[in-house]
Amino acid sequence: MSSFHDTFALIAIWKTHTTPYVRKLLDKSIGNSRHMRMILASFNEYQVFEGHTRIFIDLEKKIILMR
């Protein structure tokens, strides 16, 4: 049991190190996705709105439809 506790303790204090380049890419993608909305259209289909663009994504068939 102590080995589980030791492993859990190491994971709990684990810090991620991101480089400045990766941080810049993440900040840019977060900023760009701020204006996007995703709405569930049916069981496996989502409507994605970004500005005036509307895209339908079907997760079951793995296709993207522009309508």
Higher pLDDT, 47 or 3: 47
CA-based torsion, 51, 46, 67, 65: positive or negative: positive
Structure confidence at residue 44 (pLDDT): 86
Distance CA 7, CA 57 (A): 40
Does residue 1 have a pLDDT over 60?
A: no
Residues 7-28 have pLDDT tens digits of 777 777 767 778 889 889 988 8
Mean pLDDT of 34-52: 86
- Lowest pLDDT segment from 4-8, 32-36, 38-42: 4-8
Does residue 29 have a pLDDT over 80?
A: yes
From the list 56, 45, 50, the residue with the least C-alpha distance to 35 is 50
List, in order, residues 6 or more apart from 46 with CB less than 8 Å away. 38, 39, 40, 56, 57, 59
Residue 40's H or E segment, with its range, is: strand 36-40
